[in-house]
């Protein structure tokens, strides 16, 4: 019986593999099949493959509404500062799920990375570590294969070795929706053999995750102002909020507030106010640990108590400006309601905020 069972399992696995391969649709790089938009590109033979040399921008497969399935492409790059890769479920160029490689970071922990893009801002400073990036050796002037299997809020991402994913994304950050698939690049990169399927893939088995009990001091919602002109707010030492428009938004389960989910940035308006109200039973001082990107000022009841900067290369040449609980302030709270306001300015790589109180005895956060 065991022998028959093993044979049946083997046949099923072969059937799944053949079925997956048979449903993959090849998409040659032709103008009838791709939306090239304003991308800079050329089509030619390169190292034995019919390829596209994509110099700038992104291109999408025409008439594909991708929700779940598989995307695969071969990529050949030079050793240069660049971020070529794939996108999927794209609503428009500023709203998509994205996976890219960093040829200039070969062998480093962030050689490849998954990140969501909201309103034109990639969130690589907010989403990093296991489930987002991985160490990979990236050999230039060689054909490599990228494959992404997408199923609902998860994805398995493969690089060359098609038997084990290098990144297992357990929580795709954008809302589940259908959208475009395609490729993008900065400096010239060659792509070949693009194919996709909209059949549900079989993902690599995940280990059951133990749900972590949420910290009682975690801030899980914020009031967010309309976007402001940076120069009007970043030099202020007393806070003026008259005339601002406010909306209340929840954080992600981790406590992260990705501001780009809710607000757009422009060249001159890249700043918002994020506010919580703390009701104290009596006059007290409470520690608030927090993380942010990129510039910040903190006010308690309109008076400044902190200013800092945590952006790309702000501390050394390889510093990424990643968000974390790296800072703390001691809030001077009066009896009754206290307004705690963070002025958060975005520069590059993620617009985020997170905070937690070390002790909530005698106070209520509203």
Task: Give the CATH number, domain containing residue 173.
Answer: 2.60.120.560
Give the CB-side neighbour count of residue 183, counting CA atoms within 13 A.
Answer: 34
Shared-domain flag, residues 44 and 139: yes
Shared-domain flag, residues 144 and 231: no
Q: Within the chain, what is the greatest distance between any pair of CA atoms?
A: 78
Output the domain CATH number for residue 293.
2.60.120
Q: What is the DSSP string of 41-107?
A: EEEEEETTEEEEEEEEEEEEETT--BSSEEEEEEEE--SSS---EEEEEEEETTEEEEEEE-GGGTT
- Residue 302 pLDDT exceeds 60: yes
Report residue 292's pLDDT band, with 50, 70 and 90 as the boundaries.
very high
* Bridge partners of residue 353, in order along the sequence: 257, 292
Report residue 210's pLDDT band, with 50, 70 and 90 as the boundaries.
low
Report residue 18's pLDDT band, with 50, 70 and 90 as the boundaries.
very low
Q: Is residue 205 part of a domain?
A: no
- Tell me how far apart the alpha carbons of residues 176 and 152 are, in angstroms, rounded to a whole number: 6
**pLDDT value at residue 3:** 45
Mind listing the pLDDT tens digit for each residue in 49-73? 999 999 989 999 999 999 999 999 9
Q: Is residue 260 part of a domain?
A: yes
Angle at 106 between CA 319 and CA 84, to 5 degrees: 90
Q: What is the DSSP string of 305-364?
A: EEEEE--TTSSSTT------S-EEEEEEEPSEEEEEEEEEE--SS--EEEEEES--TTEE
Token pair belonging to 95:
């709203």
Averaged pLDDT for residues 356-365: 96
Q: Is 67 helix (H, G, I), strand (E, B) or coil?
A: coil
pTM of full prediction above 0.85: yes
Shared-domain flag, residues 304 and 258: yes
Shared-domain flag, residues 55 and 167: yes
Shared-domain flag, residues 31 and 176: yes
Task: List the domain range (segments joined by +) for residue 87.
Answer: 22-197
Cis peptide before 218 (omega within 30 of 0): no
Inter-residue contact 60 to 34 (CB < 8 Å): yes
**pLDDT value at residue 212:** 61
Among residues 110, 93, 204, 84, the alpha carbon closest in space to that of 150 is found at: 204
Shared-domain flag, residues 158 and 43: yes
Token pair belonging to 282:
């009596």
Among residues 343, 341, 352, the alpha carbon closest in space to that of 297 is found at: 343
Shared-domain flag, residues 33 and 133: yes
- Tell me how far apart the alpha carbons of residues 256 and 129 are, in angstroms, rounded to a whole number: 15
The H or E element containing residue 19 is: helix 2-23
Mind listing the pLDDT tens digit for each residue in 273-288? 999 999 999 999 999 9
25-29, 226-230, 345-349 — which is least confidently predicted? Answer: 226-230
223: exposed, middle or buried (C-beta count within 10 Å: 0-12, 13-18, 19+)?
middle
17: exposed, middle or buried (C-beta count within 10 Å: 0-12, 13-18, 19+)?
exposed
**% the chain with pLDDT above 70:** 91
- Residue 144 pLDDT exceeds 90: yes
Mind listing the pLDDT tens digit for each residue in 178-201? 999 999 998 899 999 999 999 999
- Residue 9 pLDDT exceeds 80: no
Residue position matching structure tokens 């030619």 = 44
Average pLDDT over all residues of the chain: 91
Inter-residue contact 195 to 72 (CB < 8 Å): yes
Mind listing the pLDDT tens digit for each residue in 85-127? 999 999 999 999 999 999 999 999 999 999 999 999 999 999 9
Evaluate the CA torsion angle 242, 323, 325, 174 in order and state its sign: positive
DSSP 132: T
Shared-domain flag, residues 131 and 190: yes
- Tell me how far apart the alpha carbons of residues 236 and 353 are, in angstroms, rounded to a whole number: 20
Among residues 123, 93, 173, 98, the alpha carbon closest in space to that of 349 is found at: 123
Q: Is residue 211 part of a domain?
A: no
């Amino acid at each position: 019986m065991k022998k028959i069972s093993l044979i049946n399992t083997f046949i099923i696995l072969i059937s799944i593999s053949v079925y997956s391969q048979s449903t993959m649709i090849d998409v040659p790089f032709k103008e009838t099949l791709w939306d090239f938009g304003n991308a800079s590109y050329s089509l030619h033979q390169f190292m034995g493959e019919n390829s596209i040399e994509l110099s700038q921008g992104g291109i999408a497969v025409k008439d594909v509404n991708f929700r779940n399935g598989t995307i695969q492409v071969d990529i050949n790059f030079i050793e240069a500062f660049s971020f070529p890769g794939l996108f999927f479920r794209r609503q428009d160029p500023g709203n998509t799920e994205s996976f890219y490689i960093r040829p200039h970071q070969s062998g480093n922990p962030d050689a490849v990375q998954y990140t969501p893009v909201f309103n034109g801002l990639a969130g690589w400073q907010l989403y990093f570590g296991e489930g987002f990036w991985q160490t990979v050796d990236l050999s230039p002037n060689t054909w490599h294969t990228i494959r992404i299997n997408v199923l609902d809020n998860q994805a398995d991402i493969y690089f060359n070795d098609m038997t084990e994913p290098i990144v297992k994304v357990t929580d795709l950050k954008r809302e589940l929706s259908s959208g475009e698939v395609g490729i993008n690049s900065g400096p010239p990169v060659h792509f070949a053999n693009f194919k996709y399927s909209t059949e549900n893939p079989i993902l690599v088995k995940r280990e059951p995750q133990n749900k972590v009990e949420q910290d009682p001091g975690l801030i899980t919602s914020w009031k967010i102002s309309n976007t402001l002109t940076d120069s009007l707010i970043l030099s202020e030492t007393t806070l003026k909020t008259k005339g601002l428009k406010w909306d209340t938004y929840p954080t992600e389960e981790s406590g992260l507030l990705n501001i780009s989910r809710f607000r757009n940035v422009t060249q001159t308006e890249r700043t918002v106010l994020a506010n919580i109200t703390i009701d104290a039973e009596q006059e007290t001082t409470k520690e608030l640990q927090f993380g942010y990107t990129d510039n910040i000022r903190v006010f308690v009841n309109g008076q400044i108590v902190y200013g800092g900067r945590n952006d790309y290369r702000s501390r050394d040449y390889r510093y990424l400006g990643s968000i974390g609980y790296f800072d703390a302030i001691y809030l001077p709270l009066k009896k009754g309601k206290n307004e705690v306001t963070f002025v958060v300015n975005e520069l590059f790589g993620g617009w985020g905020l997170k905070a937690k109180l070390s002790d909530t005895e005698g106070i209520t956060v509203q």
